[in-house]
Amino acid sequence: MVPLHPFLAHIPLVLALFMPVILFSLVILIAKGKLSEKGWWVGVITQSCLVVFAYIALSSGEGEEDLVAQFVSKRFIGQHENMAEVFSGLSVILLGVMIVINYVKENLAKKLRVLAAVFSFIPLGVGLYVGMLGGEIAYAHGGAEAYYGMEEPETMGILPTPGMNTSESDYPVNELELNNPDPAYPDDEYQGYDNDQGPDSYEDYQEDESFPEYEEDRTYEAE
């Protein structure tokens, strides 16, 4: 079983890592007149994606909590979860401020854009701390052991499964007939020799003149 939570948790962290760069770039471009005020919506959309994935990651972590709690103390899991909720809450606050900026006067919007860009470092710092706590749960406290040995068993061999029609043919192999041959056929049809009459060793086999190879040798000698 592959844990889904670590994959989902990295998405909002990566977005949070780039948000200060994006917001400060938008502030500079809008201030210099190289980008209209509507360009701020690029940051709003990016932050919206961050919030959505933050709550998806939070939900996935709650779904795997019971499994990991069998190997890790709930104190560590609770600390990680609480900080994840703080990160999500701060991200929502930042998103709200960024949306309001588009509906206020430009003089106030300029100040709020700078404030939003500076504020974006706070969710980033909390998010990195959340990621550090998650890494400690997985590796330092043994949380990754919860997923060991849960892989689906590999299929061994190509033999048909008893009781199941695994053959591609319309006439599948009957395992019962293979394991229990028809008693109408003598054993020497299958083995060549009866257990009481067959050669006891390889040397007896070589000395047995009833085999065809000895007949071929006598034919050769006659010629």
> When comparing pLDDT for 73 and 169, which is higher?
73
- Mean pLDDT, the chain, rounded, equals 78
**Which band of pLDDT confidence, cut at 50, 70 and 90, is reported for residue 204?**
low
Together in a domain, 55 and 118: yes
166, part of any domain: no
Task: From 104, 125, 147, give the residue that closes a domain.
Answer: 147
Distance CA 199, CA 208 (A): 8
Specify the pTM: 0.64
Together in a domain, 133 and 185: no
The amino acid at residue 79 is Q
Q: Domain of residue 204: give its range.
A: 179-222
80-115 per-position pLDDT tens digit: 999 999 999 999 999 999 999 999 999 999 999 999
pLDDT at 62: 83
Burial of 25 from C-beta contacts in 10 A (0-12 / 13-18 / 19+) = middle
**Which band of pLDDT confidence, cut at 50, 70 and 90, is reported for residue 177?**
low
Task: From 93, 126, 147, give the residue that closes a domain.
Answer: 147
The amino acid at residue 8 is L
Q: Find the DSSP H helices in the chain.
A: 5-31, 41-63, 65-68, 74-101, 106-119, 121-135, 175-179, 188-191, 202-207, 212-222
Q: Which residues, 6 or more positions from 38, have their beta carbon under 8 angstroms from its beta carbon?
A: 102
Together in a domain, 185 and 106: no
What SS3 class is residue 146? helix
Q: How many domains does the chain have?
A: 2
Does residue 176 surpass a pLDDT of 70? Answer: no
Together in a domain, 15 and 61: yes
Which residue, chain included where needed, has tokens 């932050």?
47
171, part of any domain: no
